[in-house]
Structure 1
């Protein structure tokens, strides 16, 4: 089999690059090990302050950022102020008062007080909006995209923007503005792309939930590389406005915006919030897995790639059989 020069270089670099594992600091704050559903329940009951949760994630980001280089912009001060306001609303309603925001009860917000990370190609008002493209360095989004508006209404608090390859056009997450994002499990490896900053930060416990986008694997690849959960939604299910690079009508038919989470159980509540057609998706109905067709490959039979482990094959067979 003849190899092209670029493939030969990639293989040589893979073999010769030493592994740099176990560089991300261990998790010491138990708050970082709880799902969105567990945390929002505690916040609504007054057992946990959103301010405390946001501060815990800020501290964690500060500890892992020098190692993984996933964050490109932050709004720590604004997020803490928003968390304080949420805590005031919770206390107010727990005393039996009407909501401080007319018509908006804390009990109607499924992501109340949860910090949120967002890929640096999706508009968040006042935050980096350059997609790692050097001519756009310093560009900020003037408005929230519709999906961010929906997440805010559900109580989520945007906290940081995360790194991407330049113009979201590759399967790593490196560019000339912010540099290379590293895979937290092995710093000599990439986290995937183009939502690689999201995946690396979530896998490092620097974020619990995040927003990514996907046309050819940009959620799925980094989720796989970093061991988190990501869902490429059917195009049209989640709004795709206010993104850079902008896409034309034809490309928009394959562009998808979707949730990325540390826990599988958090995918569904995020999707319910992000979707503009949740009634059509029947998200509140149970799925009969016996009627779902599942297609899978156990190997691609490429002798130059690491073989799929027997444990993974066993898990696939148990799931589909």
Structure 2
């Protein structure tokens, strides 16, 4: 049998061989950290292809595809070329299947020409997929050497629905081994870097999507999220996303790690450069009635009343947002504090009320969630590694030039102590405690009615998604700002606010550190290193409130835009 290293090297070579030779560009040395402008300047893309790929608004793309102003073949070709450029610069892709994608795009164009109507609401739109969504006849490797050669016998339900909606799946994107990292590296395809600064991580586990969409190599990507895997790369890469509640969107027949762990469900969602894209994807998938194909999917149609904020006084009502300045576990860096201040000021200028969020039992929530994830003591990961003999990755730090504040043993160990394999009964008790904490937190949220002045509890919480902007590889140890929502099953979005500014975001004096990770995160901040990176925030709504969260995010984004224009 071949060694796991040989398997990985051969698979990586097959990936390289799938790149059309005429799409190979000159890649700058690692010393050039920001590579966002290279697609515009490398000479591979025509002016029309640049126009297509730099159309951020997904609704604009869909309109031009519906009216045949742009064909799906030319749109797919343009994004494919740019995706290949992005891959050469950031190593963001896994599966490259140009001919298959263009054949699908031609079918879509032919349908419009013959029938005079679109196939569905995503007609002709190229969509990238995280390397968990099975495509019939193709490998789904998910970062494990032992999964090389594993061919999908059928499409995942999401892919079936995307075809029904007229979309064109065209690439798949990189993930970390095990998926349980907020960064993106595996032995098969290697490390994905952040196009804003390649010394930094794009986040994870949907980091390949983050880097690709940030480089305009895809108009809309689909990632997954069990602890922040949509929101972390979205905030690190300046994107919009939605973390829906458990089972609102169809996950059936997608592969995953820790399959069978159903107390904290992984969910899927869109990652785009426009909030309009988040709505277009979410509504299209829900309107396809996914519960007909996925037995776990919630039977809930798109609710226009909720999108019109019917549970929040209506579109013309003044809302009350609560700001979580600090979750009491990890103190955010100065750029995050400034982004929160900017958002508060913008919302108040738009007539909305903003109050401080009072944290509630956060350490207990964190401890329960991490204990559930660790209940098998790594048995699932080790079994998949044993298929090839590859080692379980223990660190996201690079072999050379690793940052001095890399945290390879994050907060969980200091809170939980040494891990061990729990019995079924012990796991049931964790599930029971988690349910009790969800009820306690719901009551706490409802009690805010006494402070809002609207007659309603707080409409949404605004918080950091991560305590820092994109950080050096090996340093992203914090996920509690995001996993908080996964443990409580709160719907949440991420939206970009600003960029790190070394002149404005000066280091703060030391505070009383809560734990070793809080101390390391404080010491990590360097205005020069972080300068220019995107800074995003998270909006947290209630369980199964996808329509309302999208609408409230629109309110916040409109307020921020208005504030920058005054």
C-alpha contact (below 8 Å) 2:323/2:340 kept by paired residues = no
RMSD, aligned CA: 2.5
User: Counterparts in 2 of 1:177-216, with a 5 A limit?
Assistant: 177-216=188-227
Q: Which moved more, 1:117-126 or 1:172-181?
A: 117-126
Give the alignment partner of residue 40 of structure 1, picking from 53, 59, 62. Answer: 62
Partner of 1:3: none
- For residues 224 and 248 of structure 1, what CA distance do their matches in structure 2 show? 27
Say whether residues 1:317 and 2:328 are aligned partners: no
Q: Which moved more, 1:216-225 or 1:247-256?
A: 247-256
Q: Which moved more, 1:159-168 or 1:38-47?
A: 38-47
Partner of 1:60: 82
Q: Which moved more, 1:181-190 or 1:296-305?
A: 296-305
Secondary structure of 1:43's counterpart equals helix
- For residues 339 and 228 of structure 2, what CA distance do their matches in structure 1 show? 24
- Tell me how far 1:46 sits from its aligned partner: 2.0
C-alpha contact (below 8 Å) 2:234/2:241 kept by paired residues = yes
Partner of 1:157: 168
Change (3 A) 1:232 1:303: closer
C-alpha contact (below 8 Å) 1:20/1:188 kept by paired residues = no
- For residues 173 and 263 of structure 2, what CA distance do their matches in structure 1 show? 22
- Tell me how far 1:126 sits from its aligned partner: 2.8
Partner of 1:21: 33
Q: Which moved more, 1:186-195 or 1:274-283?
A: 274-283
Moved over 6 A (4+): none
Partner of 2:121: 110
C-alpha contact (below 8 Å) 2:39/2:85 kept by paired residues = no
TM-score, normalised relative to structure 2? 0.48
- For residues 303 and 199 of structure 1, what CA distance do their matches in structure 2 show? 24
User: Counterparts in 2 of 1:286-301, with a 5 A limit?
Assistant: 286-287=308-309, 288=314, 290=317, 294-299=321-326
- For residues 127 and 291 of structure 1, what CA distance do their matches in structure 2 show? 50
Q: Which moved more, 1:120-129 or 1:176-185?
A: 120-129
Change (3 A) 1:126 1:295: farther
Partner of 1:222: 233
Larger radius of gyration: 2
Deviations along 1:6-65, one digit per CA (max 9) or x if unpaired, are xxxxxxxxxxxx985322314361111222221222222221111110110111112221
Deviations along 1:59-89, one digit per CA (max 9) or x if unpaired, are 1112221111000112210111111122122
Partner of 1:134: 145
Change (3 A) 1:139 1:249: closer
Change (3 A) 1:252 1:237: farther
Q: Which moved more, 1:258-267 or 1:126-135?
A: 126-135
C-alpha contact (below 8 Å) 2:222/2:270 kept by paired residues = yes
- Tell me how far 1:153 sits from its aligned partner: 0.6
- For residues 141 and 317 of structure 1, what CA distance do their matches in structure 2 show? 50
Alignment gaps of 5+ in structure 1: 1-17, 95-104
TM-score, normalised relative to structure 1? 0.83
- Tell me how far 1:283 sits from its aligned partner: 4.3
C-alpha contact (below 8 Å) 1:126/1:141 kept by paired residues = yes
C-alpha contact (below 8 Å) 1:184/1:200 kept by paired residues = yes
- For residues 308 and 234 of structure 2, what CA distance do their matches in structure 1 show? 25
- For residues 253 and 303 of structure 1, what CA distance do their matches in structure 2 show? 25
C-alpha contact (below 8 Å) 1:127/1:161 kept by paired residues = no
- For residues 283 and 123 of structure 1, what CA distance do their matches in structure 2 show? 31
C-alpha contact (below 8 Å) 1:235/1:252 kept by paired residues = no
- Tell me how far 1:246 sits from its aligned partner: 5.1
Deviations along 1:281-318, one digit per CA (max 9) or x if unpaired, are 41474123647653333356867945425355212432
Say whether residues 1:119 and 2:147 are aligned partners: no
Change (3 A) 1:126 1:254: same
Give the alignment partner of residue 186 of structure 2, picking from 175, 180, 201. Answer: 175
C-alpha contact (below 8 Å) 1:173/1:195 kept by paired residues = yes
Secondary structure of 1:48's counterpart equals coil
- For residues 217 and 108 of structure 2, what CA distance do their matches in structure 1 show? 21
Change (3 A) 1:248 1:231: same
Change (3 A) 1:90 1:281: closer
C-alpha contact (below 8 Å) 1:299/1:307 kept by paired residues = no
Partner of 2:109: 87
Aligned length: 293
- Tell me how far 1:122 sits from its aligned partner: 2.1
